[in-house]
Structure 1
């Protein structure tokens, strides 16, 4: 069995860092991820720099991206103005996003869910003319920092609407890391009958359950997983959201189960160690801690 790993550290990870890293550091991180055989990399977001200053260099980053025919680069595009900024770029695809929580959607983009769907339709129309595939994220699938419980019916309707609009894949986001395995099974069991092979999962590790939720997702037939180098991440508009599941932790589990990823785990850990050194404070990844301990480095 083989799965696809989508590396989101450069976007979902760095957007929540207090420090703004220069473009040169981001480009070096991309080179190191490619050296570890990661071929699906979300590199940035075209959100207005006022809201996410950590990603203000989006245009320059795309200009300087390493050219590699095997690498699928993608960027998050929040609106049509954001789409206009990606012209003549090396992107293989783009991503759009919406929340299953009305309150979180308003906090995040100052729009209702209905208004966001209308905006996504406009982006998809533009993407179609540029022959760019579009992936969609649904945030707060398993819980909201403002509303608490999120209706599965709303998630089902959003999936239907997004696929009807033309996205090729929907990534189901546990934005604040509250999902538990039985809930994951319930949600995926409901959706897989209609959208098997078209769903991905995106777990945050707030309660330490991201890996077990990935395991349950694998059992439910999911073969595409979002993750972030070192466990970087969080959502600026979701109080309590912690980092994503660490790519090296996910790969360690999958390789231990005999699942193919195509990723070089040792090179991946070297990349996480390099990023931690750049960051100058520990990353949350337990696999990284173990890797550094074997090298005689405390990492603290």
Structure 2
């Protein structure tokens, strides 16, 4: 029997770098993408189409995508470069580049939604509905429309509104499923989840949108990230986000430190017999390389200790 595949979506070039003090130029960020793809990343969140005044680390998304297009020309089958957007303006920008997918970020709570993108939950759903409608109206157009996914932030807790209930999550996931969103990410933006609550919210989300693929996004702020990823896999989830080196966080969520490290997650899964498609040694080299660029060692365990027995 073949090993069960677990897809790890690499988010280091976006969610990883957006919370770093260092502001890297587009050429360096494009090189990070290509290094990660050489290490086995097949879906990678390469850029974010946000206002540079809000997140200066993500300025120059168009230049990053242009540099990537210049390196390898036509799209590669089985590879997807993703652009994050917060609103319709960001979506318009994304359409003007070579992104293969657009990931729309929404919040489960009004507090974080207003802080992150100036929209409460109802306004965010309306924004996503407009994007979905525009996509339907563009069916048959000469220019291919990028794929679409959505990620819900603060699923396990909000720095402004506090605890988030299972019902809140299920209701919003159900709305996204009804819109036809085929992949819905559940993000522990501030790293407050635990494995048992992960299981409960996955079960509720799956019941609310049974046709959608669930993708889980964990932060290791309180040292539960890998345990939460384990719980997600045990609950049947096959798609997880991770960031090379464990870098990242959210500049609009106080205390929200790094993501689960891609190499730490790959090590755990490969040791357990799952297939990720990543080259662990190449991932560790990429983590150390980006650590040099941001001016500090990356926090992942594998970037310090190295792999063993995989």
Partner of 1:268: 283
Partner of 2:164: 150
> 1:124-166 deviations in whole A, cap 9, x for unaligned?
2334425322111101101111122112111111111112222
Partner of 1:297: none
Q: Give the superposed CA RMSD.
A: 1.6
Partner of 2:302: 287
Given that 1:133 and 1:167 are in contact with CA atoms closer than 8 Å, whether structure 2 keeps it comes out as no
1:85 alignment partner, SS class: helix
Partner of 1:138: 152
Partner of 2:76: 69
Q: CA deviation at 1:88?
A: 4.2
Structure 2: where are the runs of 5+ without partners? 139-143
Partner of 1:57: 60
Are residues 1:78 and 2:92 paired?
no
Partner of 2:47: 44
Structure 1: where are the runs of 5+ without partners? 293-300
Q: Which is further off, 124-133 or 93-102?
A: 124-133
1:281 alignment partner, SS class: coil
1:50 alignment partner, SS class: coil
Q: Which is further off, 9-18 or 119-128?
A: 119-128
Q: 2:216 aligns with which of 201, 208, 228?
A: 201
Q: CA deviation at 1:197?
A: 6.0
Given that 2:182 and 2:212 are in contact with CA atoms closer than 8 Å, whether structure 1 keeps it comes out as no
Q: 1:185 aligns with which of 187, 195, 199?
A: 199
Partner of 1:99: 107
Q: CA deviation at 1:111?
A: 1.1
2:95 alignment partner, SS class: coil
Q: CA deviation at 1:75?
A: 0.2
Partner of 2:273: 258
Q: CA deviation at 1:89?
A: 2.3
Q: 1:89 aligns with which of 97, 109, 117?
A: 97
> 1:257-296 deviations in whole A, cap 9, x for unaligned?
000001111111111111112222121101111029xxxx
Rounded to whole Å, the distance in 1 between the matches of 2:211 and 2:261 is 25
Rounded to whole Å, the distance in 2 between the matches of 1:45 and 1:138 is 16
- State the TM-score, normalized to the length of structure 1: 0.94
Q: CA deviation at 1:239?
A: 0.7
CA pair 86-190 structure 1, distance change in 2 beyond 3 A? closer
Given that 1:188 and 1:220 are in contact with CA atoms closer than 8 Å, whether structure 2 keeps it comes out as yes
Q: CA deviation at 1:213?
A: 0.5
Rounded to whole Å, the distance in 2 between the matches of 1:133 and 1:31 is 21
Are residues 1:15 and 2:28 paired?
no
CA pair 196-180 structure 1, distance change in 2 beyond 3 A? farther
Aligned residues: 293
Q: Which is further off, 220-229 or 10-19?
A: 10-19
- State the TM-score, normalized to the length of structure 2: 0.91
Partner of 2:128: 120
Given that 1:73 and 1:91 are in contact with CA atoms closer than 8 Å, whether structure 2 keeps it comes out as yes
2:240 alignment partner, SS class: strand
